[in-house]
Amino acid sequence: MVQDIHASLELEIDKLESQGIVNLFEVETQQAINATPVAYAYWAEWNATVSYFVPETTTPQDYSPFPIGRSEIETDDGTKIPSLRLNIGAVSQEIIAYIENNNAFRRHQVKVVAVPMSELTCASACLVDTFYIDGAAIDHDKEIAVFELTSRGNVANVTVPRRRMRRNYCHKRYNATDCRASSIPASLVLPDHADIHCKHTKDDCSSKDNVINFGGFPGIGVSRMVRF
């Protein structure tokens, strides 16, 4: 079925396509150490200063023109972690030394802000993606630095349990210390359960007055995810 598009909508579409999207960057240049405050640099992938806002606030901020570019976000398909690459051009030997002496700014936060040029007066008219620097490589021929950005959990070396996370099944060994809560004060540690059998379900755990130590994850929910 053919639909008529109102002229005002076509005008707004044309304006958006002609003015385009500008990419702005909030880059953490100094992390907090003791009393040292966090420092940020604000850069624009543009040929002039862009006045917008600090990401996710209404605080005005100028973004300086900078030889920086971004790749498309490599989204998670279940086998890899979302990632992004930043290219910074005109890299001198001094900047290269600074990058190398600061561990390539690993774990520093980068917020990528995509905003239509026609909406620079609206603090909420943007898309903000938060990544963390995982490392950098220097292309000496092209004089650019390529930063690899990824999730916070990835740069923090978070280890995820490899066992299955089930709603109504306890993985703990029956009558072992974790089953009887060895992590709480000794006066509250349960003695060995008299019942020699355990079904490893929440109901069975409750019947033994031990549901506080149940090793399942009831909050996971019951919906099934289907990938098309």
Give the tokens for residue 111: 């917020």
Per-residue pLDDT tens over the stretch 48-71? 999 999 999 999 999 999 988 888
Residue 69 parent element (H or E): strand 68-70
Measure the CA–CA gap between 51 and 120, rounded to whole angstroms: 7
| This model's pTM is above 0.75 | no
Residue 173 scores a pLDDT above 50: yes
**pLDDT of amino acid 199:** 86
- Return the DSSP state at 143: T
- Helix residue spans in the chain (DSSP H): 7-19, 93-101, 152-155, 202-207
Per-residue pLDDT tens over the stretch 116-169? 888 899 999 999 989 998 888 888 787 888 888 888 777 666 666 666 677 788
Q: Which range has the top average pLDDT, 4-8, 32-36, 170-174?
A: 170-174
Q: What percent of the chain has pLDDT over 90?
A: 20
Alpha-carbon separation of residue 40 from 31, 97, 108 (angstroms): 9, 20, 10
Give the tokens for residue 6: 């109102």
**pLDDT of amino acid 189:** 63
Q: How confident is the model at residue 182 (pLDDT cuts 50, 70, 90)?
A: low
CB 144 within 8 A of CB 92: no
Q: Higher model confidence: residue 59 or residue 100?
A: 59
Residue 226 scores a pLDDT above 70: no
